[in-house]
Structure formats: structure tokens, C-alpha cells
Amino acid sequence: MNRLDARFAALKASNQRAFVAYIAAGDPTLDKTVEIVRALDAAGADVVELGLPFSDPLADGIVNQMAADRAIRSGTTTPKVLEMIKTIRLHSQVPIVLFTYLNPVYTYGYERFHHDAAAAGADGVLVLDLPHDEADQNAELKPCPDLAHIRLIAPTTPAQRVPVIAARAEGFIYYVSREGVTGAQSTIATGIGEMVASIKAATQVPVCVGFGISNPEQAATVAGMADGVVVGSAIVKLIEKHGAEPDVAAKVGAFVKPLVEAVKRV
């Protein structure tokens, strides 16, 4: 049982929901990312998603696009991110999921990436633009057991594909709660409860909901309908604002703590 499975099993046993935090690896620097991950862990985050910086992040809104750009400009590369995870593991066992597009993984070497990421201490990978059908049709993209493969399901996913995707999911399923790109929203999307119920009818894998959640009230509402809540852009925006300050990690921890508490109260 890897860290992801162990964490979700413990949450289920205590009837609690997961809080999943997304940040861009290398924003503002790799050293600061280590501090921020430790602050997220201390604030109670159950899973940390680290975005691998990529020049063409098609699913990301402007906040996360700029974070990837800042990370690239700071010298962040895929090998350096994997080395950074080794440093994180000296002090933290929080489950880590690498949030990425296929291009950086394919360029690194698909199978080698999985082996090296797992050896560094990563637990899962979410490749946003790799449909499971594509992996089935290309031998070089065959599933690797070293990392849990997180699957995406969206409001636009055809009903007949939901059980097919859910059956292949590992770790947790990321339900994208709204159409479009990432970004904080003033209201949560409609239809979340119904869609989560339909996904859970097809799998035992936990379902976490993201895209647009930015405050404790929204987080608590979504936590009441799912196994976990993903918050990304709101955290990344805070890092953008305070990245040059020495206490940016403390500020991130202080921002995340009430979000975590709201999720845990459900």
C-alpha cells in the first residue's frame, strides 16, 4: 500500500474527507517549494499535487500558467523536481502526486520517469492529456506500476465512458467540476453531487473534486458531496503575491489551515 492508498484508507476509517493542495513545483524556486510543501503538510493537507512546469499548460488558467512560467524561468526542470522530492522526503511523508502533461514525461522517457519519480518519493501521477485509450494503443505508453495513475472525469465526459475510466483509476479520481481551465471562482459548479454519485457507483476509488474552489465555505460544501477537495489556483495566487517574501511558506500554511479545517468538519 503506497502513501496515497494508506492516507485515503485512514481518512475513510475516521469518516473524514481529504484536502488536496496543488502548487507549481519551482514557483518561486525549488528551495521555496520544499518549504511550502512542509507548510502544507503541517497545515493538514492530505495530498500535495506538484505541477511539473511546462511551456504549454493547456488545461490551466492564467494563474497556473504564470506559475509554470515563473518556475521555468527560475531554472526548474523535471530532473530537478525529482531531486527536490527526495529533499521533501527527508522531513515529510505527505502523499505526492505529480500533475503533468505528457510532453515532459515522454521527453524524459515514459517508463524511466515512472521509475525515477517513485524512487524519489512520488506516489502518483496525473497526466492531463493522456486518455487511457491512447495508452492502450501505444506500447511505449503502457501503464507502469511504480506510480498510481490518477484519472480525470469532467462534466463533459460521456456517461458511457465514466465507468470505463473509473475502472482504470488508481489512488483517487479527480472530478473536474466545471468546463474550461483552472481558476478560482466566486461560486461552485452545479451538479457536483449527482456526478460524484454516478462515479462512485462505478468504483471504490475515492473521488476528489477540484477546479474553482477557493474559500472555506466552498470547500465545506464540496466536501459534503465527495471524498476530497482540491484547491490549487487560490494557493498559487497567494504564492504569486508573496513569493519574494521570506515567510511565503508560513503565509501559505496560514491560508490553507482554515480550508483544511472546513473540510475536516464535514
For the question of residue 60 being annotated catalytic, the response is yes
Q: Is 109 left (phi over 0), alpha (psi -120 to 50) or beta?
A: left
Of 60, 116, 170, 240, which is the active-site residue? 60
Q: Which of 27, 46, 49, 116 is catalytic?
A: 49
Q: Measuring CA to CA, which residue among 202, 193, 201, 227 is closest to residue 13?
A: 227
Question: Does 194 qualify as catalytic in the annotation?
Answer: no
- Cis upstream peptide for 28 (omega within 30°): yes
The residues assigned a catalytic role are 49, 60
